[in-house]
Amino acid sequence: MTTETRLRDQICLLAKSMFDRGLTGGSTGNISARTDDGGLLVSPTGTSFGRLDPARLSRFDATGRLVEGDPPTKEMPLHTAFYDTRSTAGAVVHLHSCHSVALSLMPDVDADDFLPPLTPYGIMKLGRVKLLPFFLPGDPAMGAAVRGLAGKRSAVMLANHGPVVAGKDIEAACNAIEELEDTARLAMMTRGMSPRALTPDQVARVVDTFDVEWDA
């Protein structure tokens, strides 16, 4: 089995796992990963995470030209913005996960630090998450907004839409976006209950101990 064949299978396996657990439904969400030759494998437009076909993934070469597979997701500007601005990005995942979207609807969330510091794991896997404004689905302005962050964030939350996370590889990106949804779920579950979040000192210790990329 070639490296690319394994990557195709891994993309479809992880996507189905997220679909089966209700992290994105219907034909929502998109996923991509770097290939060894600098190209990309991308979920096609209009496809379901629960039924991706490894052989039909959109295949781009290192110049960004579609060379094989079905037409890609209309959210390609989001994906390429992360790859172009973050040299460490090996995969990008975008979901329509329920609790993170719900949290984005709340009027008092911090746009520069979307997730409250409830556990160390959201900090360790995501750093600070930027809440971006609402854009129409497929609007290239979403990619421009990510580029405007100049590579300083590995994760953003699209208001009223869903999270987008870049990771060093496909497994890291999927683990991180699941942590984002879990933290958002905790935030919604404890909303109005005055939960004990991590203190600024505890957050600083997590950042320092685990060498977290922490954009001030």
Active site residues: 121
Nearest of 53, 68, 32 to residue 165 by alpha carbon? 32
Q: How far apart are CA 142 and CA 162, in angstroms?
A: 12
Tokens of 125: 């896997």
Q: How far apart are CA 31 and CA 73, in angstroms?
A: 9
Tokens of 142: 């979403």
